[in-house]
Amino acid sequence: MDHPMRDIEDDISDKVTIKVKVANEGYHDLVIDWSSGESKRKQVFDQLSTIIGIPTRYINGAYMYLGVDDCIVVENYECRKFNPEMSDDDCEERTEPVFLRRLNDGDCFAACIRIIFSRNFVEVTVYLYIRGLFNDNYCTTHYCTSKNRAFINRQAAIASNSELRMKIQSKFAEIPREIHPNMEIILRIEILRDFNILPFIDASWCHLHYLYIGFINPYLRTRG
């Protein structure tokens, strides 16, 4: 599907409605109202928050893939206001994200939520893959059909659990900074597995991924 940049002056429609699929549910409407004085970023993240069940302040950004190498990046400045340690950038929105004009009415996306724990903050990013990059009926690289609302709710609980965040960051702080980056990644994975949350950090993970990262068992060793 071609997504040329629309002429900003060519106001074909004041509203664009895209469809967002979460887990194995049906599609949810996400409406961008260009005639509204409200921030278009805020419109996007407020609606994504309602759809996926994660408070807006925890969502760092959204990556909207219109093709394999064609991605719209939308940053959430509200998240940065609540989490100033994430970036030294100005948290104020200076311009509207006109690149959202590339979205067409009726575009369908599958949502995948990824949670990244670092030494200083937790980053929740929503990846939206346009139809053609996913299939409703079977797993693809970007979308796993086995994930359900219970899985998404578990992700939401992890992302908003400040006590858990502090415990994990405390463990991360014990990792020596001078070790090899690859070893640091392995140690972080071990910590996330010890807290029994590793399977929930990436909603796209399924057997397709484990074919490539088979050395990473996402579950505790005590499990079958």
pLDDT, tens digit (0-9, with 9 covering 90-100), for 163-174: 998 999 999 999
Instruction: Tell me which residue range forms the domain holding 33.
Output: 15-161
Average pLDDT score over residue span 144-151: 84
pTM of the model: 0.79
With respect to residue 83, please indicate whether it lies within any of the assigned structural domains: yes
Residue 101 has pLDDT above 70, yes or no: yes
Mean pLDDT of the chain: 80
Q: Express each pLDDT in 173-223 by its tens digit.
A: 999 989 998 899 899 989 999 999 988 887 666 655 544 444 444 445 444
Q: What is the pLDDT of residue 38?
A: 87
CB 41 within 8 A of CB 141: no
In the chain, the number of structural domains is 1
